[in-house]
Amino acid sequence: MPMILDTTGTDVLADVLDSLKLKGRIFCRCELSAPWAIGFARGNFAHFHVVERGACWLRLRGERDAVALQEGDLLLVAPGHEYQLSDEPTTPPVPLEDVAGSSERGLHAVLRHGGGGTAANLLCGAFEFESPHAQSFLTVLPEWIRVREDERRGNEWLDSTVRFLTRETQQPEIGAATIVTSLIDVLFVEAVRAWLRQQPAEVAGWLGALRDPSIGAALGFIHHAPEKAWTVPSLSKAVGLSRSPFAAKFTALVGQPPMAYLKRWRLQLAATLLRQQPVAVSSVAERVGYESTPAFSRAFTRFSGVSPGRYRYRSAVRGKSRRAIKRAHKGSGR
């Protein structure tokens, strides 16, 4: 008899995002007036924009057609894309760096730009995945995701998040920075969910697989108990399918065989444990399903390029460096 498990996939998505260390931030609110156009350079961050007032156009570099955005829309742009937002598709863009100059950026920053015509207000921010293993997640996302205003209002969580985020940036109070960081995390997850609901499972990579009852359940088993000695027969039995059809369906939807996914998830989870918890490498190995610490160390080194101990050390050094940069940034008044 199959084991009982929630197959919605939301826990799996939360697990993956947690392991990739999603971090969001606001970089400004834009008060714009026509004619205006801002160019955003290609980078390692995913960007988001909320059209608080008015309307604008999105055009990715190399794309012929522009996309109209209306008041209330939410836009996510995946990392690695150069694009522009403008009052009209034909308005020549000014690079963001030139528009912002040396102006302050962050929760309290307001960027004003344009020629004094029709107004548009945008709330702009970014998402960063601090884990070096984020690419496998990002490759399943499209170049951009737009959640229309009517779709947003039909999603209570997403609509409330956008409204709270707007309020906290317009009228920040004590603790606003912490609240905004949490809201941005919710914003990203809900936007991805909204996009996912519109996609056939077979075209959305492993995210789409979460919506399939049997494969979504199998992913749930792997994420809930990665330390268990899963095999293709035991997973297929747990979800009520025969071995061969299960393996073929899993590979088709997820993009890799069940055991390959299990191994990757175990090592990705191990990386999270090494970054976040001061436990022995042997304990990490046991928690992710390795009976032998040397075997785990060899597998982890092949996965990450460094040994578990070295990975932990580098993560700690990077964390200290980021905190020092943030303290210096605050101390300079920027």
* CATH for the stretch 21-198: 2.60.120.280
Q: What is the pLDDT of residues 248-292, one digit of tens each?
A: 999 998 888 999 999 999 998 999 899 887 889 999 999 999 999
151 vs 153: CA distance, rounded Å: 5
**Domain ranges across the chain:** 21-198, 203-314
Q: What is the pTM of this model?
A: 0.72
Q: How many residues does the chain have?
A: 334
Q: Is 203-314 in the same CATH topology as 21-198?
A: no
For domain 203-314, give the CATH superfamily. Answer: Homeodomain-like (1.10.10.60)
In the beta sheet, which residues pair with residue 46?
127
Q: State the average pLDDT for the chain.
A: 84
66 phi, psi to nearest 5 deg: -100, 160
- Which band of pLDDT confidence, cut at 50, 70 and 90, is reported for residue 2? very low
pLDDT of residue 108: 73
Cβ within 8 Å of residue 247, ≥6 positions away: 232, 236, 257, 258
Q: How far is CA 122 from CA 31, 141, 185, 246, in A?
A: 7, 23, 19, 46
